[in-house]
């Protein structure tokens, strides 16, 4: 439940995003209309990302030399002071202006998490492989945990700090985003989506290794489904649908 905004902590993981990070941060700084802090968790980039962030003066830079998207976000979230945490990539692919609308939705729905879904983007900037992989993962996740999300792999989320502190997150890489959804679903936390647009990367290369991450994500979903409570809930949902 998130009924009011005290402060928003924007956590941005970066690994060699020198050509992308400035626009993302300056847009957030200018557009986000709540008290805020911007935390960049950098994986010791070698292309000048850290220097760009430092020069701005108003961002907090944390260097997390250990590899992994999940580890970077976990470190950033541990250091966040706001009651609402925004996680968003520093690669310029997400429309960061939409943070305001995500927070508005969070308050309106009293939600624990708002995800920005890219599935209604008319421009369809997501590559076909990522789109299909995401759809399959999302279908599987929704089925197992009785949810109705359309984009489980969205890395753009507004999250209640209290809720995130209440779940244990262990994944170090891309499966972190899915582990978070699983733990939230199990706690009965509410997750809603708002549509956003998606842009192709202008600079640098994605760090996503599709095959490795795909295996890790499926294994996270599968392992998470093995406890008695999740099986019982799945059975109940299945029976309810069958009666209809």
Ligand X SMILES: Nc1nc2c(ncn2[C@@H]2O[C@H](COP(=O)(O)OP(=O)(O)O)[C@@H](O)[C@H]2O)c(=O)[nH]1
Q: What whole-number distance in Å separates Cα of residue 64 and Cα of residue 185?
A: 29
Contacting ligand X (CB under 6 A), which of 2, 91, 111, 157? Answer: 91
Q: Is 70 in the site for ligand X (CB under 6 A)?
A: no
Residues that bind Mg ion (CB under 5 A): 89, 91, 93
Write down the residue that tokens 């944390």 correspond to: 62
How does strand 113-117 pair with strand 157-160? antiparallel
Which among Mg ion, ligand X, none contacts residue 224 (Cβ within 5 to 8 A by kind)? Answer: none
Please state the closest distance from residue 206 (CB atom) to Mg ion, in A. 5
Smallest distance, Mg ion to C-beta of residue 73, A? 13
- Measured between its terminal Cα atoms, the distance across the chain in Å is 31
Would you count residue 72 as binding ligand X (CB under 6 A)? yes
Among 11, 18, 32, 89, binds ligand X (CB under 6 A): 89
d(CA 233, CA 132): 27
> Nearest 5°: phi and psi at 159?
-135, 140
Burial string for 203-229 (b: 16+ CB within 10 Å, else e) reads ebeebeeeeebbebbbebbeebbeeee
CB 238 within 8 A of CB 143: no
14 touches, from ligand X, Mg ion, none (C-beta below 5 to 8 Å by class): ligand X
Q: How far is CA 185 from the centre of its chain?
A: 15
Q: Select from 25-33, 84-92, 158-166, 224-232 the region that touches ligand X (CB under 6 A).
A: 84-92
Stretch that binds ligand X, among 38-46, 107-115, 222-230, 233-241 (CB under 6 A): 38-46
Q: Which residues touch 242 (CB under 8 Å, ≥6 apart)? A: none
Which string of x and - marks every residue 152-181 that binds ligand X (by CB under 6 A)? ---x--------------------------
- Residue 131 CB, shortest distance to ligand X, in Å, is 12
Among Mg ion, ligand X, none, what does residue 61 contact (CB within 5–8 Å per kind)? none
**Binds 95: which of Mg ion, ligand X, none (CB < 5-8 Å by kind):** none
What is the nearest approach in angstroms of Mg ion to the Cβ of residue 225?
A: 27
* Residue 17 binds to ligand X (criterion: CB under 6 A): yes
Residue nearer to ligand X on the CB measure, 67 or 123: 67
Taking the least distance from each CB to ligand X, the nearer of 155 and 224 is 155
Where are the alpha helices (H) located in 79-227, listed in sequence order? 99-109, 128-145, 161-166, 176-187, 210-224
Evaluate whether 15 touches 42 at the Cβ level (below 8 Å).
yes
Q: Footprint of ligand X on this chain (CB under 6 A)? A: 13-15, 17, 41-43, 64, 67-69, 72, 89-91, 155, 206-208
């Amino acid at each position: 439940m998130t009924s009011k905004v005290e402060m928003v902590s924007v956590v941005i993981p970066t690994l060699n995003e020198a050509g992308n990070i400035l626009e993302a941060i300056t847009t957030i700084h200018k557009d986000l209309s709540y008290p805020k802090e911007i935390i960049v968790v950098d994986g010791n980039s070698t292309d000048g990302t850290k220097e760009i962030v430092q020069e701005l003066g108003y961002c907090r830079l944390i260097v997390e030399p250990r590899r992994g998207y999940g580890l970077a976000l976990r470190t950033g979230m541990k250091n966040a002071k706001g009651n609402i945490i925004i996680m968003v990539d520093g690669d310029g692919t997400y429309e960061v202006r939409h943070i305001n609308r995500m927070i508005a939705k969070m308050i309106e729905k009293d939600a624990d998490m708002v995800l920005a879904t890219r599935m209604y983007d008319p421009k369809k900037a997501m590559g076909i492989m990522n789109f299909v992989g995401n759809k399959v993962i999302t279908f599987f996740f929704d089925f197992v945990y009785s949810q109705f999300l359309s984009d489980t792999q969205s890395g753009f989320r507004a999250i209640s700090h209290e809720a995130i502190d209440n779940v244990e997150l262990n994944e170090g890489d891309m499966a972190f985003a899915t582990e978070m959804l699983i733990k939230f679903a199990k706690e009965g936390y509410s997750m809603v989506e708002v549509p956003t647009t998606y842009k192709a990367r202008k600079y640098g290369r994605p760090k996503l290794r599709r095959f490795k991450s795909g295996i890790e994500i499926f294994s996270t979903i599968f392992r998470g489904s093995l406890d008695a409570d999740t099986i019982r809930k799945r059975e109940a949902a299945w029976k309810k649908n069958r009666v209809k």
